[in-house]
Chain A
C-alpha cells in the first residue's frame, strides 16, 4: 500500500511568516509522529499522536510550533512567525500500535 506522504516537499518562506506542513500517514496506523532534522544532525522528536490519547508535545521547541491531527488521519504541523533557526527537514512517521515507525520523505523548510 501507499507509504507516508508529506506536502509540500520543499517550502521557502520569509522570516516572520507562518507555514503549514502536512502529513498523510499509512492507513490504519494509529500513531503519528513529527521529527525535525537540522542540517548534519540527527532527528529530534517534536510531537506524537496516538489514537484518542492526549498528544505528547514534549519535543516542541517553542510555543510557535503546534500540530493537529484529525482522528487517525491527516496531521498538520504549523510554525508561526518562522525564524531562520527553524530551517530544517521536517519528517513525519506513522506506526501501528507498538511497532516500528515508517517515515515519509520529509518537507525541507528554508526560512530566508
Chain B
C-alpha cells in the first residue's frame, strides 16, 4: 500500500531565507504526487502536482518541487519565504482508480516564519 512520510513535523525559517520541505513516498508504480497548503482556518489549496514528464515542477506562490524516483522523494522548495507562507504543508500521493484520484497524505509539516 502506498504511504507518504514527511519527516519534519515543524520547521522554522527566517523571512527571506530559502525553504525545503521533505517528502518521501512508497508506491509501486509511477506516482501522482501533490503538495497542498493549509492556512489557519482555510481549506486545502493545491500548490503543485506531478503526473509525468519534467521532474521539476513549478507551482503557485513561487514554490517548486522535484520528483526523484531513485530516492522516492518529492521535496518542496522556495528560494525566499514570505511571512504569508506560514501554514501547514501536506504532501500526498494519488492513485488513479476509474478516473478518481484517491489521495494518501503525509502527516504534514508546520512552517513558522520568523520576522
Contact = CB atoms under 8 A, between A and B. Distances in A.
A91 interface: yes
A51 B43 CA distance: 24
B99 A97 contact: yes
B106 A50 contact: no
B99 A98 contact: yes
Interface residues of B, number: 24
Query: What interface size band does chain A fall in?
Result: 20 to 34
Given A42-B105, A42-B107, A100-B49, A50 B90 contact: no
Contacts of A97: 99-100
B111 to A, nearest CB: 15
B70 interface: no
B99 A100 contact: no
Contact of A48 (B102, B105, B107, B108): B102
B105 A53 contact: no
A105 B43 contact: yes
Given A4-B43, A31-B101, 12 more contacts: A33-B102, A44-B105, A45-B102, A45-B103, A95-B101, A97-B99, A98-B96, A100-B46, A100-B49, A103-B43, A105-B43, A106-B43
